[in-house]
Amino acid sequence: MNKHPLLSKLLIIGFLMALLAIPLALVRDVIAERTANRHDATQAVARAHAGAQTITGPVLWLPYTETFLRTVKVEGQVGQTREELVSEERVSIQFPKTLDTQSRLSTETRLRGIFPVTVYTSQHATTGRFVWNEVTPRHRGGQLALGQPLLLMGVSDARGLLAAPALRLAGQTLPVGQAPGSSPLPLAAKVDLAQLKPGAVLDLDLKFDLAGTGRIGWVPLADENSVSLSSPWPHPSFGGDFLPRTRSIGASGFEATWRVPSLSSQAQARFGQKGENAPALDQFSVGLDDPVDVYRLTERATKYGLMFIVLTFAAFFVLEMVKRWRIHPMQYLMIGTAMVLFFLLLLSLSEHLDFRFAYLIASAGCIALLAHYLRHVLGGWGAGLGMGGMLVALYGVLYGILISEDNALMMGSLLLFGVLAAIMVATRKIDWYHVMGPDAEPPRAGLEATRS
């Protein structure tokens, strides 16, 4: 190996980079653990407050029994038939023609340990209209026995109801309580059967306050659905099957309006289906996630950690060749260890500080330590500050990659291209055969070609 110092040094540096990948992986494990702890904290707050909410309904639900005569074959007697009386339990589900909801949402941050969790309270005012369609028998001569009609509505977590909903239907105030176990939604109000005349117009007025955590959404069950939501939360994340028709987002909050016709949704067709294979209902929602997820950003940063170590070691190696510096493998290891600790320091600081300040403090500490160390390794402040300046540029590029996720690939590609170009320019005059060792000589054909 002494006959090939360049190859020996490259192998040692490669081994050190592989060795440093182990603590980098351990840092990722710590990030995953902290992410899981934050999820547990969010679930704990949701259990005590209320979870994510999805508002469904209201719909009219009328159970009834149809009795009819059915002709069946007599067993053991060919061509003989008889009639038997059959009763079938059915339900008529009738959806609103229109539903218009005006909602207002306010947020609050609660701490569970060191983990912040965003909870909300919301006020909803819904107006709508039903037009009752007569229930007709499905079999010839069938007789109908109508049961108790109900107005059903649902929220994902009923603990979030801050008071009983105020409901008026066709001018009558209806108390809202728990629905029967057989109904698909948890809340119900009894409707006067006498109001359900064919073609009857039933105007709806519904008001309620609802608390929740993280997300709020709606299932569009009416023929024409309209929801307007306003909130001081400045970072909404719109999701679900439909995006808002209009939205306005600023530092003071957001406003959004959804308009969804039944022709655009499968919610009515899928409503009431039961079983494990029952499809999920279409919905639209808004999430209140923190846009600066420190764990996601730190985890993304560690993905570039090994690349940063490779680039730094490559810079040192090239400067060893160009400037005739002598850097011991143990010094390489200490420099790489300091760079790995940067990510752990960034994680711990970002749990208590704004991510920008955490990144500034962690990177400044790491760069100052390395610059001071390199001053002694390289024999002067000039070289130490020069390498410190290179690290400033490197960490600055990393921060740009982190905050600009859409341009991360482009910025990373430009960084690698720039580093390669710098290495090629810096080493363009190096005689690599001489560097490889005294016994390394170029092939004669290559040498003659060079002279010519």
Distance CA 348, CA 191 (A): 58
Q: Which H helix or E strand runs over 126?
A: strand 115-131
Digit-coded pLDDT (tens) for 263-289: 999 999 999 877 677 788 999 999 987
Average pLDDT on 367-389 reads 80
Residue with tokens 């902290």: 34
Instruction: Please say whether the beta carbons of 317 and 294 come within 8 A.
Output: no
Of the ranges 154-158, 334-338, 402-406, which one carries the lowest mean pLDDT score? 402-406
Distance CA 386, CA 436 (A): 27
Instruction: Please say whether the beta carbons of 359 and 399 come within 8 A.
Output: yes
Nearest to 58 by CA among 152, 179, 182: 152
Average pLDDT on 223-230 reads 96
pLDDT at 376: 78
Residue 261 has pLDDT above 80, yes or no: yes
* Burial of residue 72 (number of CB atoms within 10 Å: 0-12, 13-18, 19+): exposed
Q: How confident is the model at residue 437 (pLDDT cuts 50, 70, 90)?
A: low
Residue 69 has pLDDT above 50, yes or no: yes
**Who's near 272: CB < 8 A, 6+ residues apart?**
91, 93, 184
Residue type at 238? F
Structural domain boundaries in the chain: 5-38+295-451, 53-290
Structure tokens at 57: 């309904």
Q: Which pairing describes strands 53-73 and 150-154: parallel, antiparallel, or unpaired?
A: antiparallel
Q: How confident is the model at residue 442 (pLDDT cuts 50, 70, 90)?
A: very low
Half-sphere exposure of 86 (CA within 13 A, CB side): 16
Instruction: Please say whether the beta carbons of 231 and 281 come within 8 A.
Output: no
Residue 130 has pLDDT above 90, yes or no: yes
Instruction: Please say whether the beta carbons of 305 and 17 come within 8 A.
Output: no
CA-to-CA separations, 274 to 188, 278, 280, 326, in angstroms, rounded: 19, 5, 10, 73
Of the ranges 42-56, 251-265, 361-375, 382-396, which one carries the lowest mean pLDDT score? 382-396
Specify which of 112-116, 126-130, 193-197 reaches the highest per-range mean pLDDT: 126-130
Q: Which H helix or E strand runs over 160?
A: none
* Percent of the chain predicted with pLDDT > 70: 89
Digit-coded pLDDT (tens) for 171-195: 899 999 999 888 889 999 999 998 9
Digit-coded pLDDT (tens) for 286-337: 998 776 678 888 888 888 788 878 888 887 777 777 666 777 888 888 888 8
Distance CA 301, CA 366 (A): 15
Distance CA 27, CA 345 (A): 10
Residue 449 has pLDDT above 60, yes or no: no
Average pLDDT on 158-174 reads 92
Instruction: Please say whether the beta carbons of 34 and 343 come within 8 A.
Output: no
What is residue 56's DSSP assignment? Answer: E
pLDDT at 450: 43
Residue with more model confidence, 452 or 59: 59
pLDDT at 220: 95
Q: Which H helix or E strand runs over 83?
A: strand 81-94
E strand spans, 232-329: 237-240, 246-250, 253-261, 284-287
Residue 35 has pLDDT above 50, yes or no: yes
Q: How confident is the model at residue 452 (pLDDT cuts 50, 70, 90)?
A: very low
The CATH number given to 53-290 is: 2.60.40
Residue with more model confidence, 34 or 229: 229
Q: Which H helix or E strand runs over 320?
A: helix 305-323
pLDDT at 444: 46
Radius of gyration of the chain (CA): 35
